[in-house]
Amino acid sequence: MILFENVRFLDTTLRDGEQTPGVALTSEDKVAIATKLDELGVNVIEAGSAITSEGERESIRAVVAEGLDAEICSYCRIMKQDVDYALECDVDSIHLVAPVSDLHINVKLRKDRESVRKMAMETTEYAKEHGLIVELSGEDASRADLEFLKSLYSDGVDAGADRLCFCDTVGLLVPEKTGEIFTDITSAVNAPVSIHCHDDFGLATSNTIAALRAGAKQAHVTMNGIGERSGNTSLEEVVMTIEWLYKCKTDINTTEIFKASRLVSRLTGIPVAPNKSLIGGNAFTHEAGIHVHGLLADTSTYEPIKPEIIGRERKVVLGKHAGKSSVTLALKEMGFDVDDMQLHEILDRVKELGDHGKKVTDADLQSIAETVLNIQREAKVVMDEYTVVSGNRVTPTASVKLRVDGREVVEAGIGDGPVDATVDSIRKAVASIGDVQLEEYHVDAISGGTDALVEVLVKLSKDGKMVTSRGARTDIVMASVEAMLNGINRLI
């Protein structure tokens, strides 16, 4: 057997991922994510659970209507009613989930094993009679009696199930045990078996890889590893582990991974942790001078893969750990030419900011360099005045008067809050000089009390170029304005 041959991916970002507390996707959101997942090359997209609501069914139908290459799937319980709702959505397949541990059978369903077996077989046959592909899944399989599970799977195949799935519902597997279980199951049943893991103990990727090595043919994954509690198996981790650590090819278009990650993060409102493997903000970001010095010689000294492989870029940030190599590289990218004396002066000022616990943004470095080099630069975008209206009975609205390249521009915007409305109005006001996107927004209180000084850090992008900048005021809206304008002026 060739390791990881023809591994398939079922992505459940739109179903299990949406079950992340606080996440609710619109039809437009689901279509956008599904389209990007299809571009990635996943085999199956679990678009939702048709039984949930009419709104959910509309979303699933909208995904189906896109005519994507991927198989579109709906989650179903072992009930004919669920299958009927899935049929209404015109999906290709169903993920038919049967509780298989005695804990779930007796406590959750208040039934016995044979009743569950009967329900699962009848629902499988019903779905097949109506032309659906069926993936019969054992919920809480890692706590089930293995012999009962295998017999249920075998009966499911006899009833017409096309695929089977083993669910580690609360993340209790370890890789060694996973390997033993899948060696046993895959040799005992006559259908492809999937692995569906949760990350409660941080082992979802390891267990998924172990299952695939032991004969599983398909991995259930989510983008960014989102999902209930601690989340599901990360698509990006499994794909890149197979491709780069095991040197086996998948059919996933890896250069689209980071774009897909950012899209899912933005639409779900779930930020990616900075230290998240591969897609976290720090994954290809370097500060320490000795690391940057090594990178300049050979990027593989401190990077396991080139960031371009997953659609990312390398970034050097500055702080108290920065060295001459870091500052020289950053200044070069900004177009500054400095001598040794000027370089040391700039480096000292950067470290001083770092010693005070500050993150040194691109705008900070530019300001430091221009001061040391005695460069006078007039800002192209200047705030004259702004007004914000917000309250419990009004939609937050902001109006701004800016000078853009010497021209007076007045714009208004609305948002979820006063900051969002102000940012919207600024973006509209500067549209004539480019489409500026707010990629990240972060706020910290520097001092205590209701009059606290707040620091706002923003990451802005325009035409593929990205900068970071800051603003610090006692007024969070003004701090946000300051950060936005600093970044916009840096971008242009």
Three-class SS of 163-223: EEEEEECCCCCCHHHHHHHHHHHHHHCCCCEEEEEECCCCCHHHHHHHHHHCCCCEEEEEH
Asked if residue 445 is part of any domain, the answer here is yes
Q: What would the pLDDT profile of 412-439 be if each residue is shown by its tens digit?
A: 999 989 999 999 999 999 998 888 888 8
Q: What would the pLDDT profile of 76-102 be if each residue is shown by its tens digit?
A: 999 999 999 999 999 999 999 999 999
What pLDDT is attached to residue 387? Answer: 93
Same domain, 263 and 342: no
pLDDT higher than 80, residue 353: no
What pLDDT is attached to residue 287? Answer: 58
Provide the domain count of the chain.
3
What pLDDT is attached to residue 473? Answer: 81
**Helix, strand, coil % (nearest 5) of the chain?**
45, 25, 35
- 11-15, 160-164, 459-463: range with lowest mean pLDDT: 459-463
What pLDDT is attached to residue 449? Answer: 64
Q: Name the nearest CA neighbour of 327 among 341, 347, 342.
A: 347
What pLDDT is attached to residue 465? Answer: 78
What pLDDT is attached to residue 258? Answer: 94
Q: What would the pLDDT profile of 339-350 be if each residue is shown by its tens digit?
A: 888 888 888 888
Please say whether the beta carbons of 75 and 98 come within 8 A.
no
By the 10 Å C-beta count (0-12 exposed, 13-18 middle, 19+ buried), 419 is classed as buried
Same domain, 348 and 438: no
Q: Which strands make up the sheet holding 465-473, listed edge to edge? A: 437-445, 454-462, 465-473
pLDDT higher than 80, residue 241: yes
Residue 18, domain CATH: 3.20.20.70
Same domain, 122 and 176: yes
Same domain, 102 and 200: yes
Q: Output the CA torsion sign for 111, 113, 114, 120.
A: positive
Please give the structure tokens belonging to residue 465.
């170029």
Same domain, 241 and 114: yes
Asked if residue 155 is part of any domain, the answer here is yes
Helix 204-213 / helix 175-188 crossing angle, nearest 10 deg: 40
pLDDT higher than 90, residue 274: no
Same domain, 332 and 396: no
Q: Which one of 351, 372, 393 terminates a domain?
A: 372
Asked if residue 280 is part of any domain, the answer here is no
Residue 456, domain CATH: 3.30.160.270
Asked if residue 469 is part of any domain, the answer here is yes
What pLDDT is attached to residue 482? Answer: 86
Q: Stretch 472-487: mean pLDDT, rounded?
A: 87
Same domain, 360 and 392: no
Of the pLDDT bands very low, low, confident and very high (cuts 50, 70, 90), residue 70 is very high
How do beta strands 454-462 and 465-473 pair?
A: antiparallel
Please tell me the number of Cα atoms within 13 Å of 128 on its side-chain side. 17
Burial readout 70-104 (b: 16 or more C-beta within 10 A, e: otherwise) = bbbbbbbbbebebbebbbebebbbbbbbbbbbeeb
Same domain, 290 and 258: no
Q: What would the pLDDT profile of 393-405 be if each residue is shown by its tens digit?
A: 889 999 999 999 8
Rounded Cα distance between 432 and 411, Å, is: 12
Q: Which one of 317, 348, 372 terminates a domain?
A: 372
Q: Stretch 116-120: mean pLDDT, rounded?
A: 98
The residue ranking higher by pLDDT, 44 or 4, is: 44
Asked if residue 273 is part of any domain, the answer here is no
Residue 340, domain CATH: 1.10.238
Same domain, 299 and 431: no
Asked if residue 246 is part of any domain, the answer here is yes
Asked if residue 70 is part of any domain, the answer here is yes
Q: What's the chain's average pLDDT?
A: 90
Q: What is the DSSP string of 395-459?
A: EEEEEEEEEETTEEEEEEEE-SSHHHHHHHHHHHHTGGG---EEEEEEEEESS-STT--EEEEEE
pLDDT higher than 90, residue 360: no
In terms of residues, how long is the chain?
492
Same domain, 150 and 93: yes
**Which pTM was predicted?**
0.80
Q: Which residues pair with 286 in a beta bridge?
A: 316
Asked if residue 277 is part of any domain, the answer here is no
pLDDT higher than 80, residue 301: no
Same domain, 295 and 354: yes
Same domain, 216 and 305: no
Range of the domain at 212: 8-268
Q: Which one of 236, 268, 300 terminates a domain?
A: 268
pLDDT higher than 80, residue 223: yes
Please give the structure tokens belonging to residue 353.
């900011």
